[in-house]
Structure 1
Amino acid sequence: MAKATNSTHGELIAVGDESLVTLNLTTDMDPRFEQDFVAINGGSAALNWRIACLAPPLEVRHETHYAAARKRLQSTVYDDFARQYDVFNGCQTVLSLRDDHFVGMAILRGDADGVTTEADRRVFAHGARAALSALRIQRAIANQGAALVLGALESLNTRTILLDSHGFVAGLTDSAERWFSRGTALRLRHGHLSAKLPSENDMLQRVLRQALLAPADAPVSARLWIRSGIQPHEGVAVEVFTLPTLEWNLGFGSRVMVAVHAGEALNAERAPVLEAALRLSPAEAAVAILLAQGKSREMIAGERHASPQTVNTQIKNIFRKADVNREAELVSLINNLLR
């Protein structure tokens, strides 16, 4: 696209809620471009005049629209950024626009390239239509992949939710859907996962955002206890995992998996099952259930009136007997055994 329009760079970008940039592929660009774009909150319509003049899909916006948008904005942050990377000129269009995110394509031009001509914009518009077709195909493939994953998880009777790169719920297992319908510590609203209590929701959203933005070489794996009431024991254990993704998936593929372990299956009455299955002592079985409920080691020690050293020793014994190395593995095993 850049070559066909006599431009220095071509760009494919996806931006979600709260200016979250989930994809920014730019050809022949300084590697620092994407990092600096995120650092200045480049996905914000209050700062970036390119974002500020978004239009309906396939309508082309160019330098004339950029100039008008610059006059409306109070910030020059993006102006400085555009001059730094010599991308003040160009044109753009939206390929997909939804309430929670958009995917767009642009050509970025420097001073040497000059402003776009009508001929350049015609070529760009023609290419955008082809890009939109490719985008629809990619979304269909991603949806099919999510359905296959959920089908496999459903066979295990797990309460699992998949989120795409924009934080939008891409799918959930039937078990999760039935569980949500009963009213729980977690909610699904407008396609987003949230917690019932504001304080718990702040924590959940912070972890989900970390998982969404995690680089491929440092995925997030976190376990939370989401309270549903005043008492600490009222709630559910939630695991959040960053899933592997491809650079070119445009944000439609599953990016984060959330597994919910409902408390009704994780109470002290089920301890004998763990004792028999994993050959745990009664004390070890009790500790294992508290771990699966999302309690920290410090909370377990306080609840059992034991020293932290004692709890750590018991957990080491549990790991050895269960043949696992991580708490997440143990939680998964316990939920399968107590289901």
Structure 2
Amino acid sequence: MIRTEEIYDAATDDGVFERLAATLADAVGARSGVLHWGFAPQHIAEISYSGYFSDAQMAVYDDEFHADDIWGAALDRSDTVNRLLNIEAIVPDRAYEGSRIYNEWIRAMGDDTFRCLGGIIQKDGTTGHIGLHRGRTQQPFDTREVQAMQDAMGHIGRMFAIRSKLDRANQHGRSLQAALDMVGHAVFTLTANGALIDGNGAADAMLRRGDALTLRQRQVKARDPRDDEAFQAALRAAAARQGTQASAIFIHREQGAPYVLSIASVRVGMDRQIVAIATDPTGRDASLTSRIRALYGLTRAEAEVAEAICAGRGLEELSAERGVALNTVRTQIKNIYVKLDCSRQSELVARVAALPRLGPFEDQSGFRSD
């Protein structure tokens, strides 16, 4: 008997989903089963199979025999969608016995899988496949077993749709997290009373250091009591109904210049949440030089000088650090002003400060890029 609870449990429980093919196979007396769904007919997002075939054997199927699956090809018709079919009724035994998949994959591993209940399930933009199998010497699937699986098809389709929506939501969340991790600031999302909801990678690192902000019983606190008093006051102001403007305070650390903590509130549904952004004034935007060059056509030396000037460095200091004559630095600054269409240092600083601050990020292969 197929229990619908087990099907719907698989919507949110990965372990139940992994076992679901075996659960369905057991329910109708099949010795193996496979279940998978994706966002298109040829796409597989997740797969569950009963374990009758090993991972290595399934990998061989994917690599070498998927295109020769005569049962799958028989189901790939519009009139079979959301129907559970006894494949023996649409693929003659002689055709299956002469197929490459039967002779070079099934028989080659000493197996006799010969009977199949199969179907294509489409629901809310997802396409799923189900296959339940028996050996040649076993009894064919009867009408009661076919009907039991047909009755379950709608539930399986809804389960696929739920998993696809959760998958999209998780992907959306991962994309947003990756974007926040690329921002060159520590970004905290807090409740109105300062309890931590979430934070990007820089925020996590800042809390681990504990040199300015700490986490106590899920509450974000400033290490310095005077800073914490100002922080709590800023949180209360931001959480107030009239608190629509952002505020900022200094958060002192044990060594070095204090962080600048910008605090504002946002509406999330019916709730008000606090966004706190901690900026390290001494931190360097590793991508700034390349972006200035790309935007304004500066040489590498000019872009480095422009970045240094915006950081408050003097001409004599730059001349000494770069090992060039003072007149060379002056010439580079003149070229920078021409290319950025500005005439004084304050304009240059404003142009560069308008660029978003980016931090180091990790690419998909796991290597850090600076």
TM-score (norm 2): 0.40
- Determine which structure has more spread, i.e. the larger CA radius of gyration: 2
TM-score (norm 1): 0.43
